[in-house]
């Protein structure tokens, strides 16, 4: 069994969570996935690489090792739905396009699900909560940035093309409204990338459950359109390939958003 996560501790109040970056599979899941599903299309591809400047900012990072097809770390353990309409659950049985993931609809059994909760979901969330507590004890506040990406067009989940930058603050419940407005202003100060806040993606389980601005924990989710930094399946180049030429254009904005969070925290609490 591999470690379910990798935690790198930093020396600022910022913690970056990457719950959908993992690609490891358990034998019980791998043997049942359809050939198409084995491509792990719904992965948040290359997110650790895209944010590898985080160390320069002194940010802590926690990265998932297992695929969301084993268990989705951004869903509540009781699998309560987060969105109205089409979505995927704690144990996905269809992909984002609605296609079945498992051969003959034979999803892993309850024992495999119990194992995934005990050895993947709970350890990740225990480590995430522990790092939040460490940072809050040291700084008095925490800035949690939940980093995600997704294909720009998925008709089953949303109409038309997704904006490039999709910020979610659970309608300003997961962070101070002023931080939400500050991040939106930073997006509005540039014209290269389209953006929206609390649109189709308002923040998943991590943003909603850990964001607690009354107790100085401010959580923000970013769902980044994959067309900004990689080849999407519609491209006639290798599927899921990282594109440095595209990534080098969006990385300055990503870095600026994180720097904006840090500066806001310093101004608010310093």
Structure confidence at residue 73 as a pLDDT band (50, 70, 90): very high
Predicted confidence (pLDDT) at residue 96 exceeds the cutoff of 60? yes
Note whether 231 and 151 are within 8 A (CB). Answer: no
CATH domain 5-269 topology: Aminopeptidase (3.40.630)
SS3 (DSSP) at 246: helix
> For 152-172, what is the mean pLDDT?
94
Contacts of 180 (CB under 8 A, 6+ apart): 167, 169, 172, 197, 220
**pLDDT band with cut points at 50, 70 and 90 for residue 53:** very high
Q: What is the pTM of this model?
A: 0.96
> What is the spatial distance between Cα 191 and Cα 194, in angstroms, rounded to a whole number?
7
Residue reference for tokens 């969070």: 261
Among 38-47, 82-91, 252-261, which stretch is predicted with the lowest mean pLDDT?
82-91
CA 240 to chain centre: 17
Residue 236 has pLDDT above 90, yes or no: no
User: In this predicted structure, what is the pLDDT of residue 156?
Assistant: 86
Dump pLDDT digits (tens) for 104-117.
989 999 999 999 99
Q: Can you give the pLDDT at residue 86?
A: 55
Predicted pLDDT at 233 = 77
Q: Where do we find the tokens 């659970």?
A: 170
In percent, how much of the chain has pLDDT > 70?
A: 96
181-215 tens-digit pLDDT: 999 999 999 999 999 999 989 999 999 999 999 99
165, 203, 196: which is closest to 74 by C-alpha? 203
Token reading at 59: 């940010």
């Amino acid at each position: 069994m591999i470690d379910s996560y990798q935690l790198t501790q930093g020396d600022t109040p910022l913690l970056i969570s990457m719950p959908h970056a993992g690609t490891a599979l358990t034998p019980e899941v791998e043997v049942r996935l359809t050939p198409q599903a084995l491509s792990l299309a719904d992965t948040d591809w290359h997110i650790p690489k895209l944010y590898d400047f985080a160390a320069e900012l002194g940010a802590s990072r926690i990265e998932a090792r297992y695929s969301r097809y084993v268990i989705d770390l951004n869903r509540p353990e009781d699998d309560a739905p987060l969105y109205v309409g089409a979505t995927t659950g704690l144990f996905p049985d269809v992909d984002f396009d609605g296609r079945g993931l498992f051969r003959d609809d034979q999803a892993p059994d309850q024992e495999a699900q119990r194992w995934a909760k005990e050895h993947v979901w709970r350890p990740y969330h225990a480590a995430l909560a522990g790092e939040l507590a460490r940072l809050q004890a040291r700084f008095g506040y925490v800035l949690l940035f939940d980093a995600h990406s997704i294909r720009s067009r998925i008709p089953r989940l949303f109409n038309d093309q997704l904006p490039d930058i999709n910020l979610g603050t659970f309608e300003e419940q997961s962070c101070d409204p002023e931080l939400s407005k500050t991040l939106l202003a930073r997006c509005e100060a540039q014209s290269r990338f389209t953006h929206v806040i609390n649109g189709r993606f308002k923040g998943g389980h991590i943003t909603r459950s850990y964001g607690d601005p009354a107790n100085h924990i401010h959580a923000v989710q970013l769902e980044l359109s994959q067309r900004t930094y990689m080849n999407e399946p519609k491209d006639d180049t290798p599927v899921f390939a990282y594109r440095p030429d595209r990534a080098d254009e969006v990385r300055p904005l990503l870095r600026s958003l994180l720097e904006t969070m840090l500066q806001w925290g310093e101004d608010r609490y310093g």
